[in-house]
Amino acid sequence: MGVCLVTGGGGFIGSHIVRGLLERGRTVRVLDDFSTGKRENLAEVADRIELIEGSICDVPTVERALRGVEVVFHLAARASVPRSVEQPRPSHEINVTGTLNLLIAAQAARVRRLVYSASSSAYGDTPALPKRIDMRPQPLSPYAVSKLAAEHYCACWSHVYGLSTVSLRYFNVFGPRQDPTSAYAAVIPAFVARMLRGERPIIYGDGEQSRDFCYIENVVDANLRAAEVPEAHGEVVNVACGERTTLNQIVADLNRLLGTNVQPIYEPPRAGDVRHSLADITEARQLLGYEPRVLFAEGLRRSLDWYKANLK
């Protein structure tokens, strides 16, 4: 594998993929404008990567970033369902137009494979479980619409223009370096940060909503496999563990690990949130040879250890 470009490499997932590539001896270039990513996520590997600071919305920057690149791992995005509900236009501009910029430039640069970080939010709140790739998408938020639109663009570029793409629909990724401080923080770091301070975690809804939480190590493995498997050309694949955990169960597990008895605060449900999510990972197994290495309980323990050591 030649030069690997990681867009959004300063983010939570991107910075883990950067390390996974470096561990395998790859040459890594990162494109990030650090609007949400953090420089400290790359600090310990800064001398081993090439960093281009800029946005996927800027075409000349994207074209420069793609020179000599063999594989692209596309993670740059404006995440968060609630933020997209409040501000839909930036979600579209970054997630859709930014991806289109990247696809056009990647085709021109003769990139061998583009691995796109898609989202399970594409499924919406359909009651059928588990979520299968052949289900009709029903996105409920501007974020979900934008991620699905970019996924369709990737498939189009594979089928019409011959640029090989693979879209990985992530289900609730968690792990070390996931930011607990944002107003839009994901549920696990938000719970952990509050409980480590002796504060009650906030649950929007009754806490019985469930998710297929996927530890970051599994996601890195899926990305590296997706970059190499020829049969995955133009495909969409769920990346998850195939197990479901409620938010109330997370609080109970954290109380057990911390030796505490902190009870959550329940607030009204948020617009755009889905009730239950669980992945069918058949395609990931068959196409990528993927198998989740770290299941939820072990991933939660590892994450808690990291936050204990790193949260100020």
Assign residue 74 the CATH number of its domain.
3.40.50.720
The pLDDT tens digits of the residues spanning 120-144 come to 999 988 889 999 999 999 998 999 9
Beta-bridge partner residues of 276: 210
Tell whether 20 is covered by a domain. yes
The pLDDT tens digits of the residues spanning 261-273 come to 999 999 999 877 7
At residue 80, the pLDDT reads 84
Catalytic, 143? Answer: yes
54: pLDDT confidence band, cut at 50, 70 and 90? very high
Tell whether 211 is covered by a domain. no
Q: What mean pLDDT comes out for the span 179-208?
A: 90
- Residue 112 and residue 37: Cα distance in Å, rounded? 26
Active-site choice (116, 123, 143, 170): 143
Four-residue CA torsion sign, 48, 52, 57, 59: negative
SS3 assignment, position 51: strand
The pLDDT tens digits of the residues spanning 229-239 come to 998 999 999 99
The pLDDT tens digits of the residues spanning 91-107 come to 999 999 999 999 999 99
Number of structural domains found in the chain: 1
Instruction: Pick the closest to residue 247 from 198, 209, 200, 212 (CA basis).
Output: 209
Total-model pTM: 0.95
Tell whether 258 is covered by a domain. no
